[in-house]
Amino acid sequence: MPDLPPIVDSHCHLDFPDFAEELPQVIDRAVAAGVTRMVTICTKLKNAGSVRAITEAHDPVFWAAGTHPMSAASEPLVTVDDLVSLADHPKFVGIGETGLDYHYTADSKPVQQQSLRIHIEAARQTGLPLIIHARDADDDMARILTEEHGAGAFSCVMHCFSSGAALAETALGLGFYLSMSGITAFPKSQELRDIFAAAPLDRILVETDAPYLAPPPRRGKRNEPAYTAFTATRAAETFGVDPAEFFAQTTRNFDRLFSKAAA
């Protein structure tokens, strides 16, 4: 890969068991690949201590925390105070991931929606960006984000965005960001690439969602933050820009949204 500017993996899961045996090496490989910062996401608040410890042991790593929508019914309902208290940590930079997932857990729609609104209020109170997971829930997601933004502004990224054009338009219209994962580099993802190509480049982030969704040429293997560059290089083609320009622009976008983690 040619010499390119530094880039950020805006969403990964370094506390997952997939990395337990070689986490320092995974982080070192990321840095060697030009990934100078990573945001690792805590998806259950009971794991906050271990996720925080990763960031304290590794300078390039920051963290965010929330209750993943697929766990909203099985975990204790988070409170605004729970989330706000985490923001005191100097490397805590976002609220979530939260959101709606009706693909496997549609039976918990009411508690998912309640949890999402709690996370939104915490994002308002802390001024930190909300990190949204959305799957098979476009209409409810657009409605709730629009209602809540009308009640009081907050910033937000639609992480690993793979929803429809209407939800993308709603999110962008509210001033939010869309994040590109390895899915956008898959051969059969042209419709998704078209949605991104219609978005302003200054609202785009890049992520791995590691250990999931490794992009080509690593597809089918465990994903890791070092592979951010593969997704970003393919994404530059989607926007018709030079990879160096794309790397630099998405890093500026990250610094604007995740200002607490700005270099």
| CATH number where 89 lies | 3.20.20.140
Q: Which of 249, 209, 252 is nearest to 231 (CA)?
A: 209
Q: Rounded distance, CA 240 to CA 221, Å?
A: 28
pLDDT 10s digits, 108-167: 999 999 999 999 999 999 999 999 999 999 999 999 999 999 999 999 999 999 999 999
Residue pair 169/129 in contact by the 8 Å Cβ criterion: no
Q: How far is CA 113 from the centre of its chain?
A: 19
Is position 77 within any domain? Answer: yes
Residue 86, domain extent: 7-261
The tokens for 225 are 């933050």
Is 1 part of a structural domain of the chain? Answer: no
Instruction: Answer whether residue 111 is part of any domain.
Output: yes
2 has a pLDDT exceeding 80:
no
Q: How far apart are CA 215 and CA 22, in angstroms?
A: 21
Per-residue CA distances from 149 to 66, 142, 226 (Å): 19, 11, 34
Q: Does 155 map to a domain? A: yes
User: What is the domain count for the chain?
Assistant: 1
Chain Cα centroid distance, residue 72? 18
Q: Strands across the sheet with 204-206, in order? A: 7-12, 35-42, 61-65, 92-101, 130-135, 156-158, 177-180, 204-206
Compute the distance between CA of residue 131 and CA of residue 181 in angstroms, rounded to an integer. Answer: 14
Contact 9, 228 (CB under 8 A): yes
Q: Does residue 2 fall inside a structural domain?
A: no
pLDDT digits (tens, 9 = 90+) for 181-215: 999 999 999 999 999 999 999 999 999 999 999 99
